[in-house]
Chain A
Amino acid sequence: MSEMKPIIQVKNLCVNIKMDEGLLTPVRGVDFEIYPGETLGLVGESGCGKSLTSKAILAINDKKCQSTGEILFRDENDEIVDIIALEKASKRREFLGFRKAKPGEADKKTAIRRLRTIRGKQISMIFQEPMVAFSPMYTIGNQINEATLLHITKDPVASKQITLDMMKMVGIANAEKRYDQYPHEFSGGMLQRALISMALVCKPRLLIADEPTTALDVTIQAQILELMQELQKELGMAILFITHDLGTVAKMCDRVAVMYLGKIVETGTAKEIYKNPQHPYTKGLMGSVHKIGTLKQDKLFSIDGTVPLALNLQPGCGFYERCTERIEGVCDKIDPENVCLGGSHCVACHRCKKEAE
Chain B
Amino acid sequence: MALFKKKTTKDESYYMASQWTLMWRKLQKHQLAKVSLVILAILYIGALFADFFAPYGLEEFSALYKNTAPTKIYWKDEDGNFTRPYVYGLTKVNDRATFTVKITEDTSKKYYISFFTEGIEYKLFGVIPTNIHLYGLVDEEGNPARDHNGKALARINIFGADSTGACIYSRILFGGRVSLTIPFVSAAISFVLGILLGGISGYFGGIVDNVIQRIIEVLSAIPSIPLWMALSAAIPPDIPVSAMYLYITIILSFIGWTGLARVVRGKFISLRKEDYVTAARLAGVSDIKIITKHLVPGFLSYLIVNLTLGIPGSILGETSMSYLGLGMKAPATSWGVLLKETEDLISVAQCPWKMIPLIFVVITVLAFNFLGDGLRDAADPYK
Residues of A in contact with B (beta carbons under 8 Å apart): 20-21, 311
CA distance A131 to B10 in the complex (A): 35
Say yes or no: B29 contacts A20, CB within 8 Å.
yes
Please provide the chain B residues from 1 to 55 with a CB less than 8 Å away from any CB of chain A in the complex.
8-10, 29
A311 and B29 alpha carbons, distance in the complex (Å): 20
CB<8 Å pairs between A and B, sample of 6 = A20-B9, A20-B29, A21-B8, A21-B9, A21-B10, A311-B10
Ranked nearest first, the 3 interchain pairs of A and B with the lowest CB-CB distance are A21-B9, A21-B8, A21-B10
B26 to chain A, nearest CB (A): 11
Q: State the main secondary structure of chain A at its contact with B.
A: loop
Question: Complex Cα distance A21/B10, Å?
Answer: 8
A21 to chain B: which residues have CB within 8 Å? Answer: 8-10
A21–B8 Cα distance when bound, in Å, is 6
- Bound-state CA distance A20–B29 (Å) is 10
Complexed CA–CA distance, A20 and B8 (Å): 8
Q: Taking the nearest CB of chain A, how far is it from the CB of B169, in angstroms?
A: 41
Residues of A within 8 A of B10 (CB): 21, 311
CA distance A311 to B8 in the complex (A): 13
Closest to A21 in B: B9
- Expressed in whole angstroms, the minimum distance between the Cβ of B14 and any Cβ of chain A is 10
CA distance A21 to B29 in the complex (A): 12
Q: Which A residues are CB-close (under 8 A) to B8?
A: 21
Complex: how many Å from CA A208 to CA B278?
40
With both beta carbons as reference points, the residue of chain A lying nearest to B10 in the complex is identified as A21
Nearest Cβ on chain A to B51's Cβ, whole angstroms: 44
Smallest Cβ-Cβ distance to A311: which chain B residue: B10
Nearest chain B CB to A23's CB is how many angstroms away? 14
A19 CB → nearest B CB, Å: 9
Chain B interface (Cβ within 8 Å of chain A)?
Answer: 8-10, 29
B87 → chain A closest CB, angstroms: 50
A10–B10 alpha-carbon span in the complex (Å): 33
Residues of chain B within 8 A (CB-CB) of A20 are 9, 29
Contacts of A311 in B (CB 8 A): 10
A271 to B116, CA, bound (A): 88
Contacts of B29 in A (CB 8 A): 20
Instruction: Say how far A257's CB is from chain B's closest CB, in angstroms.
Output: 30
In angstroms, how far is the closest chain B Cβ from the Cβ of A309? 8
Closest Cβ of chain A to B34, distance in Å, is 15
Query: Closest chain B residue to A309 by CB distance?
Result: B10
Alpha-carbon distance A222/B10, docked complex (angstroms)? 42
Q: Within the assembled complex, what's the spacing in Å between the Cα atoms of A208 and B180?
A: 58
Q: Nearest chain-B residue to A19 (Cβ)?
A: B9
Taking the closest CB of chain A, its distance from the CB of B377, in whole angstroms, is 14
How many whole Å from A22's CB to the nearest CB in chain B? 9
In the bound assembly, the distance between CA atoms of A311 and B9 in angstroms comes to: 12
Nearest Cβ distance between residue B101 and chain A, in whole angstroms? 60
Distance in Å from the Cβ of B27 to the closest Cβ of chain A? 14
Bound-state CA distance A21–B9 (Å) is 7
Q: How far is the CB of A30 from chain B (nearest CB, A)?
A: 26
Nearest CB to that of B6 among chain A residues?
Answer: A20
Q: Report chain A residues within 8 Å CB of B9.
A: 20-21
A325 to chain B, nearest CB (A): 29
User: How long is the Cα–Cα vector from A54 to B199 in the complex, in angstroms?
Assistant: 46
Q: What is the CB-to-nearest-CB distance from A25 to chain B, in angstroms, rounded to a whole number?
A: 16
How far does the alpha carbon of A20 sit from the alpha carbon of B10 in the complex, in Å?
11
Q: How far is the CB of A342 from chain B (nearest CB, A)?
A: 42
State the CA gap A215–B29 with chains docked (Å). Answer: 36
CA–CA, A22 and B7, complex, Å: 12
Min C-beta distance of A60 to chain B, whole Å: 23
Q: How far is the CA of A210 from the CA of B8 in the complex (A)?
A: 34
Q: What's the least CB distance linking A64 to chain B, in Å?
A: 15
- Shortest CB-to-CB span from A300 to chain B, Å, is 25
CB distance from B60 to the nearest CB of A (A): 52
* Closest residue on chain A to residue B9 by CB atoms: A21
Kindly state the separation between the CA atoms of A292 and B9 in the bound complex, as whole angstroms: 44
CA A20 – CA B28 in complex, angstroms?
13
Closest residue of A by beta carbon distance from B8: A21
What is the CB-to-nearest-CB distance from B218 to chain A, in angstroms, rounded to a whole number? 33
A312 to B, closest residue via Cβ: B10
CA distance A24 to B9 in the complex (A): 14
| Alpha-carbon separation in the docked complex, A105 to B10 (Å) | 41
Chain B: minimal CB distance from A24 (Å): 12
**A308, B8: Cα distance in complex, Å:** 17
Q: How far is the CA of A18 from the CA of B138 in the complex (A)?
A: 59
CB distance from B12 to the nearest CB of A (A): 15
Min CB distance A310 to B, Å, is: 13
CA distance A263 to B29 in the complex (A): 32
A212–B29 Cα distance when bound, in Å, is 38
Bound form: Cα–Cα A21–B14 in Å? 13
B112 to chain A minimum Cβ distance, whole angstroms, is 51
Q: How far is B9's CA from A20's CA once the two chains are assembled, in angstroms?
A: 9
Shortest B9–chain A CB gap in Å is 5
Minimum distance in angstroms from B17 CB to a CB of chain A: 15
